[in-house]
A and B are shown apart, each in its own frame.
Chain A
């Protein structure tokens, strides 16, 4: 079974440029998450989707960040314009449903590492 696929793995851009990350979750997983992981820190939730609906985007900086999950499968996360402080790893994860019985295992992709110069 294929895991969560993210691209690009690495991206280097200059500040004020736009950038987009793509995520393909595990087939059949209804719940998709975007997490931000700063160096030396744990992941922090940016947005959570149930199918195509964003059910928790309270931590998403909406002035420059946007996300979409058309058709409830793949998702893109966009930053426009990027700032120096956006340099981090952007992790995508998926799970088979909210609060599923075993405790909600999240399957993570390898992440997209962004460097803003």
Chain B
């Protein structure tokens, strides 16, 4: 079955790097995603990675995928107060377009 897990909280200082981790169980995942949710808002796609890649960089964001360990991480360089939000990882497995989301990691950026 599908199960996606994340740690609940992360606190960093402004300017530091943040690393948010995620583990998943479905080895047939084709794509893995990172979504951001600000208070009172819907989810916004930040980035995604195809399962045959092990790294993807997009400006301040770096996604690392360890397919053997089913571990996904999101690194945010030079974290800013505007990055404070809940971050969800999600996987797509099998046919169709169903995403399974993790429980979310609340990132708090302190001055």
Contacts and interface: CB of A to CB of B under 8 A. Distances in A.
> How many residues of B sit at the interface, in one of the four size bands?
20 to 34
Contacts of B82: none
Summarize B's interface: helix, strand, loop or mixed.
Answer: strand
Interface string B16-54: 000000000000001101000000111111001010000
B73 interface: no
Interface residues of A, number: 28
Interface stretch (A65-73, A76-84, A107-115): A107-115
A95 B40 contact: no
B31 A40 contact: no
Contact of A42 (B30, B41, B50, B104): B104
Contact of A56 (B31, B33, B98): B98
Interface in A8-57: 31, 40-45, 48, 55-56
Interface in B52-73: none
Chain A CB count within 10 A is highest, among B31, B50, B92, B99, for B99
A105 B42 contact: no
A43 B101 contact: yes
Interface of B: 4, 8, 30-31, 33, 40-45, 48, 50, 88, 90, 92, 95-104
